[in-house]
Amino acid sequence: MNTHELLKIENLSVNVSEKEILKGLNLEVNEGEVHVLLGPNGAGKSTLGNAIMGNPSYEITDGKIFFNQKDITDFSADKRAAEGLFMSFQNPIEVPGIRLGTFIRNAISAQTKKPIKLLAYKKKLEEAMKILGMDNNFADRDLNVGFSGGEKKKAEILQLLMLSPKLAILDETDSGLDVDAVRTVSKGVKEYQKRENGALIIITHSTRILESLKIDKAHILIGGRIVKSGGPELVEEINNEGFEKYEQVVV
Ligand SMILES: Nc1ncnc2c1ncn2[C@@H]1O[C@H](COP(=O)(O)OP(=O)(O)OP(=O)(O)O)[C@@H](O)[C@H]1O
Ligand SMILES: [Mg+2]
């Protein structure tokens, strides 16, 4: 048994609305590692993220998920978050009536089950917002309501910095960001890694967010399965040649 093993997915099959999307997927992520997940539209990348997080709309029909050597396959989403799992969503939802700052505070206390010292929290929040170049008044705005696309993504990375998970799944966090915003978000992601030795699964269609990160492994997901795993050179290969070569493997 590898003591540094953080996430282990065995033969995972997942149905969405009664349709099988993931078909026996295997994946292992060790502590502190950066993994990149590539694949064509509709391959099942976001589905995998949602299934790891325990979203109840994603029904696990076969296989197991282990986190920190614990079988979390039947854990609720809240319990998984408390174990140290986090996902930054491809399309963050707007939540009127709950301020961003309050939302993050509630999420932290739900996970630690301890009251938060308000002053220390505010200081930490302001520091994290500074890293992300976010104006302090964002904390008082309703969660994602009226946020621009880029601001929503930054709010996700703010949650990442504040929650300090053991594993973060970033689902197209770089899509729709301008050049400077990609740099800022990358800075936030690097800061998370440095502080927490945090592991990452980065789902992306572009390589911009990867430029400042050291990638350990890359995987290609097609048709609900990982059809190829390799090192950072795989990202380069897909960039140049696309998925065609691997699509033929899928039956
Ligand atoms: N909540 C849902 N309801 C219905 N179908 C869904 C749902 N979530 C995913 N699917 C379907 O599952 C398939 C895989 O979707 P998924 O979002 O995982 O793809 P993806 O690899 O993330 O693609 P993209 O690169 O476009 O984000 C798609 O055919 C999609 O329509
Ligand atoms: Mg997706």
Local confidence pLDDT in tens for the 251 residues of the chain: 445 999 999 999 999 999 999 999 999 999 999 999 999 999 999 999 999 999 999 999 999 999 999 999 999 999 999 999 999 988 899 999 999 999 999 999 988 888 889 999 999 999 999 999 999 999 999 999 999 999 999 999 999 999 999 999 999 998 889 999 999 999 999 999 988 889 999 999 988 888 888 999 999 999 999 999 999 999 999 999 999 999 875 55
CB of 41 closer than 6 angstroms to any ligand 1 atom: yes
* Domains defined along the chain, listed by start: 5-247 (3.40.50.300)
* CA–CA distance, 134 with 168 (Å, rounded to integer): 21
CB of 91 closer than 6 angstroms to any ligand 1 atom: no
Query: What is the secondary structure of 12-68 as a DSSP string?
Result: EEEEETTEEEEEEEEEEEETT-EEEEE--TTSSHHHHHHHHHT-TTEEEEEEEEEET
Alpha carbon nearest to ligand 1 atom 18, residue: 44
Tokens of 73: 């396959």
Query: In testing the pocket of ligand 1, which one of 13, 15, 45 has its CB within 8 Å of the most ligand atoms?
Result: 45
* CA–CA distance, 44 with 49 (Å, rounded to integer): 9
Q: How far apart are the CA of 47 and the centre of ligand 1, in A?
A: 6
CB of 224 closer than 6 angstroms to any ligand 1 atom: no
Residues 6+ apart with CB under 8 A from 206: 174, 175
**pTM given for the model:** 0.94
